Amino acid sequence: MIKEFLNNLEDPNRPLFGPNYWLLNEIGLLLPKNWMERIWKIIIHEIVTLFVVTQYMELYVIRSDLDLVLTNLKISMLSIVCVIKANTFVFWQDNWRQVIDYITEADKFERDNQDEAKGNIINAYTRYCRRVTYFYWVLVFTTFITTITAPLMKYCSSEQFREDFHNGTEPFPHIFSAWVPIDKENFPGCWITVMWHIGLCAYGAIIMAAYDTSVMVILVYFGGKLDLLRIRCREMFDTEGKGVSDDISDKVVRQLHQIHVQLLKHSRLFNSVLSPVMFCYVVMCSLMICASAFQLTAATNTTQKLLMAEYLIFGIAQLFMFCWHSNDVIYKSQDVMMGPYESDWWAANLQQRNNVLILQGQMRIVHIYTAGPFTDLTLSTFVAILKGAYSYYTILRK
């Protein structure tokens, strides 16, 4: 059944981006053409944005209770990143569509002009994208279940909490700490609030799954495209040392130059829409990891520790996957310049060698993805964030 569902997500028009494109459409990040449906999708996004505002309103109310503050921050920081992702995707809709259309058309071009070496790379990055996408969907779904069941687990696993709840000293255990215009502590307002929170949590989980996996697939494709470009450069004089005519050489070099220019153009366009979001995420993630780690060590109940640990693992895994794939593109963009030197350039004449040098100079440009104007998305940044989160954690412990 699951296999059949996943097969239905495949799109022959988008052999690489099919499942991701489907989810982006379903959740409304890619707005429909019908203006009524378009307005409805935007209204839903903004309702959730308003809910995040109510979380911070509640934060002011509970500011004197450290444990409640940390619980609120841990979730509200993830919530604000979620709505930033949704709103920036909608606001920069044209740029996102341009990037997605580019990787679709460029991927089709490579599939239509592949040999054995290129086919191995194409198949490898396609399988990897599917695995990353489905693994991340499972991780997000697990975190969603963990989040909505955390109050229930707390109620079931702690006898003291149940006694305090029944005698009125403990409030109703809600999923989120947020202001609502109804009495959320007593029936029926408490259960209306629970259903409201479950719906919002599901929305946020799908937004995370759609946005994050789309970013990862795009990064993986850029890395795969650089590998393919290196092979194309290696084969530009693939005549067993006999050389080629100037016309053929000019045509091949011009095509390679155009491929790299288009890749660089869309890579920079992609970074322009991703960088502001990653800046907010990097800042929020360090605080979120710190709050989760503090609550994990402070928890006395085993069930609560397991729930906290899963939430902490999700935050770290999410950050790691962004930094890992971005770092991979950086290294591959540094390696692609070796492609022209791996060709039979020595069999070319002087003019053709000059063209190769110009092409090689063009390919020295490194693809770097940033988190705002302050840092790059690399593994060293990932380690620095973990160190910063640990520093915040030690301050809280003291």
Kindly report, residue by residue over 48-99, the tens digit of the pLDDT: 999 999 988 887 777 777 677 777 777 788 888 899 999 999 999 999 999 9
- Predicted confidence at residue 118, as pLDDT, reads 92
d(CA 252, CA 215): 31
Q: Given this model, what pLDDT does residue 241 score?
A: 59
Residue 37 token pair: 């449906």
Section 384-389 average pLDDT: 86
> pLDDT digits over 164-214, tens only?
888 877 888 888 888 888 988 888 999 999 999 999 999 999 999 999 999
Report the C-alpha gap between 185 and 110 in whole angstroms: 59
Residue type, 72: N
pLDDT at 242: 67
Q: Using only C-alpha atoms, what is the Rg of the chain?
A: 25
Residue 34, phi then psi, degrees to nearest 5:
-65, 125
Instruction: Give the residue among 232, 225, 233, 231 at the shortest CA–CA distance from 266.
Output: 225
398 has pLDDT over 70:
no
Distance CA(130)–CA(271), nearest Å, equals: 22
Record the pTM: 0.93
Parallel/antiparallel/unpaired status of strands 370-371 and 375-376: antiparallel
What single-letter DSSP state applies at residue 14? Answer: B
